Structure 1
């Protein structure tokens, strides 16, 4: 059994129809796996969801590292990562987060993902300060916490219309960065 494929199919179904509507049997049949093998590996839905959430977090960590390597400007990295994280959470069915609360271990994995993003924002803001792109008195902890509050709100079901969220998120992150940036940093943001 290809665990990556199981997780990819399960996550695709979760994104499309939510937790409750995604039945284990649908995943098994779609992948054409024997009942014995599938249910021995995943005796219950929480086991399947937990494995898939852990797989997703691993992928997100890889995406963060690739983003970090590709972008020349740490300021642009922060903008891209924030935009990505908001889009990522919005990619799931509207009921996904509410229904996932029934599986506390899985729901906790989402908090772990947000903590990973928060640490990365904090780290990159520190780099911006060292490079002279942000003011030395920029409170990196407060800044990264504020960014993660919006992501947590999406997780908690506080939804803004999807078509507005990206433009609002872009405005918020750029405005916040401008407030922290030095003249050089603002030039980079505007250029």
Structure 2
């Protein structure tokens, strides 16, 4: 059996039920194999968790690198796209998921590295906005970067719990904050008065 299949099934269970309440036998049932066979392929539960989360973070990193490097789309729209994806992604997990993960230093470091990369990408895109005169000269890029990272940081560090039942206001929120720091050209892009278009990466 392909390892990716095992990791996908395991992450889906973690996302729905949390880590602590998901045991190896439940993963094995979903994969239609024996618990023994699963252990032979992946080791114990702790090893499986590490492999799954590492793969999950690596997949998010690849997505972030690919999207943030797309020069065909306005950096303002890329910021909105990345922000919406990160918030929806964080909110897709059960409320206990990140708090359970943060009990181990390995996972704290893993997600801290991703959050650092996320902040760097936001700052680079904001720099591009300024170079293209889409942001006002006096806008504080450090403050904007901190705002863009804050909600994901709070959820993924276990400081706040994911909220899957809340209305999806991510797009409205980020556009409102960016609009207050944009030139007229930037505001037009955020309002959609141009030829550019994007679709949110589906989870």
Q: Same fold (TM over 0.5)?
A: yes
Per-residue deviation, 1:189: 1.2
Higher helix share: 1
Q: Tell me, what secondary structure is at the counterpart of 1:164?
A: coil
Q: Are 2:134 and 2:183, in contact at CA under 8 Å, matched by a contact in 1?
A: yes
Residue-by-residue CA offset, 1:96-121 (whole Å, 9 max, x unaligned): 11222233312432222222221111
Partner of 2:55: 55
Larger mean Cα displacement after TM superposition, 8-17 or 34-43 = 34-43
Q: Give the whole-Å Cα distance in 2 for the aligned partners of 1:160 and 1:100.
A: 13
State how far apart, in whole Å, the 2-side matches of 1:136 and 1:102 are.
Answer: 42
Preserved CA contact (<8 Å) 1:71 1:77: no
Match of 2:96 in 1: 95
**Larger displacement relative to structure 2 (78-87 or 29-38):** 29-38
Identify which range, 143-152 or 78-87, moves more after superposition.
143-152
Aligned residues: 190
RMSD between superposed Cα atoms in Å: 2.5
- Which residue in the other structure is 1:130 paired with? 131
User: Equivalent residues in 2 for 1:164-179 (5 A)?
Assistant: 164-167=166-169, 169-179=170-180
User: 1:74 deviation in Å?
Assistant: 1.1
Moved over 4 A (4+): 32-37
- Equivalences for residues 21-32 of structure 1 within 5 A: 21-32=21-32
Q: Check whether the contact 1:14–1:22 (CA below 8 A) recurs between aligned residues.
A: yes
Q: Give the alignment's TM-score, normalised by structure 2.
A: 0.80
**Residues of 2 paired with 1:46 and 1:60: CA distance?**
21
Tell me if the contact between 1:46 and 1:103 (Cα under 8 Å) persists in the aligned partners: no
Q: Distance in 2 between matches of 1:114 and 1:170?
A: 20
Which whole-Å CA distance do the structure 1 matches of 2:47 and 2:141 have between them? Answer: 36
Shift of 1:36: 5.8
Aligned with 2:160: secondary structure? coil
Task: Specify every segment of 5 or more residues in structure 2 that has no aligned partner in the other structure, as ranges.
Answer: 194-203
Contact persistence 1:122–1:140 (CA under 8 A): yes
The equivalences for 1:151-166 within 5 A come to: 151-155=152-156, 156-159=158-161, 161-166=163-168
Distance 1:131 1:70, change over 3 A: closer
Task: Answer whether contact 2:102 2:108 (CA < 8 A) is retained.
Answer: yes
